[in-house]
Amino acid sequence: MSRFFNTTGLCNPEDHYTVDPFRGIYHKIKHLIDSKQYYLIHAPRQTGKTTFLHELAHKLNKEGKYFSTVCSLESAGFPSITVEDANLVFMKTIHRQASIFLHSQHLPPDPSEFDKNANLLEDYLTKWCKELPKPLVLLIDEVDSLYDDVLISVLRQLRNGFQSRPSQFPQSIALVGLRDIREYRLKARADNPSIGAGSPFNIKAESFFLPVFSREEVRSLLDQHTQDTGQVFSDAVFEKLYTFSGGQPWLTNALANEMVYKMLNNDYSQEITPELVEQAKENLIAQRQTHLDSLADKINDPRVRPIVLNIISGGDLPFDGADDNLRYCRDLGIITSKSPVQFANPIYREIITRILNVGFQESINQDIAQTSWYLDPDGSLNMDKLMEAFTDFYRWTSESWLERFQYKEAGHQLLLMAFLQRIINGGGRIEREMALGNGRTDLAIFWKSQVIPVEIKLNHDARSQPLGLKQLARYMDKLGQKKGYLVIFEKKSSEELPWETRIRREVHEVEGKEVILLGM
């Protein structure tokens, strides 16, 4: 059986198409290990951390200078566990998982030999290191899944043992999780204003962030499939797949697996087309597998919400806490690592938008949500009729909806997108462009051969309309279209600005293009 694109768990080169798990940082980490340092490795979920750690431990053991093992602390990652019980869990987990990496004569002591006490982990590691003929390199995964006192206890015990390394404590320890050391510190201090002079955080020498796949790595992954099967990923297919995934490892593999295995049933004689990539993307969005569904929890985080809100609305971040919030969202993999700040990839962007407007979308009256009502006799989409229906819908329902909506500041944009999504789902698709600070949300509606540009703005001041007209003209150039729609929402209430005044429809010519302006 040929290898396949892995979407679950550890990658094995014998079974799966893989990229270099070390991503060019092995020599840096090896230097820290040789220097007896503690360090951090952090990355979002399903970006290859577990594969990285297993490969690192196996490589170190093979080189022969150290013993190395991986240990996950996830099994103690719940709020009600006591420090004493957590220590027992850690000890049993280390004992069990070490057998994957080390020979039986070098395994840690039997956990039953230890009494239940607050320094169990520290004592356990000390006893084990004393018995080993070579220094130990310990790779601790899921550290940031721990809560409060348990997290502080673990880090303090590692700090205490730091002074007696390598003969009586691990030579080097990697703390591995989703977030950087700054987040460990904030989390530990949440209910503990001071964690004392013996801070466990000042031992960290360096932090490594595992990036998404580069273009070259994605190309290499796809080429491995071609070499094994003869089935080609053309340049056009590659570009679409890379654009949709943004190089995110799970998404990259999931898109390829969706096409090769699920859609083509491993029939390698069939051609992989750009249209197939489009459908695979839509399938993943519709399936909302665990990786994508976890975004629902993340966007409810109070530190994530202001970033998501302003990406959707095109607004600017408030100055207070902006840097910490951006760093946090980048560590979670929700947004790009560089400017302009936007969602990490088009699939995340679509999932997040649909999660936020699902309440709107499902509550739209079926009487106005029949796709067939907005089609001309030739099957083309009558956008004027559709926008007229939305204007009426918005006038009579928006104030009650926006008042209840969690993301009120982006509610106008989300309400329009929900309305359009409900109609367009009947045979087309919507692509969105949004980023912090651009002052707008851009939509492209694809219906058969039609491409319809739509720009959404809030009316902040006298500059909003002329700026929106220019921005839409540039967006229309990008899409190669001569007609588009600019929707400007008023921020004032209907008491401040009556509906009879605020609702308007105007036709503008901008740089030789026709723009339908809808104010509401």
The residue type found at 513 is K
Strand partners, 454: 443, 485
Least confidently predicted of 60-69, 115-124, 459-468: 115-124
The pLDDT-based confidence of 198 (bands split at 50, 70, 90) is: very low
CB of 154 closer than 8 Å to CB of 143: yes
> Looking at residue 190, what is its pLDDT?
47
pLDDT over threshold 90, residue 376: yes
Share of the chain above pLDDT 70, in %: 92
Q: Where are the alpha helices (DSSP H) in 341-495?
A: 346-363, 383-404, 411-424, 464-479
CB of 158 closer than 8 Å to CB of 203: yes
The pLDDT-based confidence of 187 (bands split at 50, 70, 90) is: low
Task: Provide mean pLDDT across the span 12-24.
Answer: 93
> Looking at residue 323, what is its pLDDT?
77
Task: Provide mean pLDDT across the span 143-172.
Answer: 90
Calculate ∠ Cα 126-129-135, nearest 5°.
135
The pLDDT-based confidence of 306 (bands split at 50, 70, 90) is: confident
3-class DSSP assignment, residue 152 = helix
pTM: 0.87
Residues in the chain: 520
> Looking at residue 196, what is its pLDDT?
44
Task: Provide mean pLDDT across the span 232-258.
Answer: 97
pLDDT over threshold 80, residue 243: yes
Strand partners, 70: 139
Minimal CA–CA distance to 7: which of 34, 46, 41? 46
| Residue whose pair of structure tokens reads 């150290």 in the numeric block | 66
pLDDT over threshold 80, residue 295: yes
Domain 26-209, CATH: 3.40.50.300
Instruction: Find the Cα–Cα–Cα–Cα dihedral 184, 72, 30, 47, rounded to 10°.
Output: -80
Question: Mean pLDDT over all residues of the chain?
Answer: 89
Higher-pLDDT residue of 42, 64: 64
3-class DSSP assignment, residue 418 = helix
Calculate ∠ Cα 424-427-430, nearest 5°.
45
Helix 249-257 with 274-287: angle, nearest 10 deg: 110
Q: What are phi and psi of 311, to 5 degrees?
A: -65, -45
> Looking at residue 404, what is its pLDDT?
66
Highest mean pLDDT among 218-227, 279-288, 340-349, 404-413: 218-227
Over the stretch 118-155, which tens digit does the pLDDT of each residue have? 678 999 999 999 999 999 999 999 988 888 889 888 88
> Looking at residue 266, what is its pLDDT?
95
Minimal CA–CA distance to 440: which of 455, 454, 419? 455
- DSSP state, 78? S
pLDDT over threshold 90, residue 186: no
Q: Would you list the DSSP string of 237-263?
A: HHHHHHHHHTT-HHHHHHHHHIIIIII
> Looking at residue 152, what is its pLDDT?
86
Higher-pLDDT residue of 316, 440: 440
> Looking at residue 167, what is its pLDDT?
95
Over the stretch 381-428, which tens digit does the pLDDT of each residue have? 999 999 999 999 999 888 877 776 666 678 889 899 989 998 998 789
| CA–CA distance, 390 with 376 (Å, rounded to integer) | 17
pLDDT over threshold 90, residue 195: no
- Ramachandran region, residue 511 (left: φ > 0; alpha: ψ -120 to 50; beta: rest): left
Highest mean pLDDT among 140-154, 324-338, 455-469: 455-469
The pLDDT-based confidence of 61 (bands split at 50, 70, 90) is: very high
Task: Provide mean pLDDT across the span 220-232.
Answer: 97
> Looking at residue 4, what is its pLDDT?
96
| Residue whose pair of structure tokens reads 């949440």 in the numeric block | 190
CB of 141 closer than 8 Å to CB of 50: yes
CB of 476 closer than 8 Å to CB of 507: no
Task: Provide mean pLDDT across the span 258-263.
Answer: 97
> Looking at residue 401, what is its pLDDT?
75
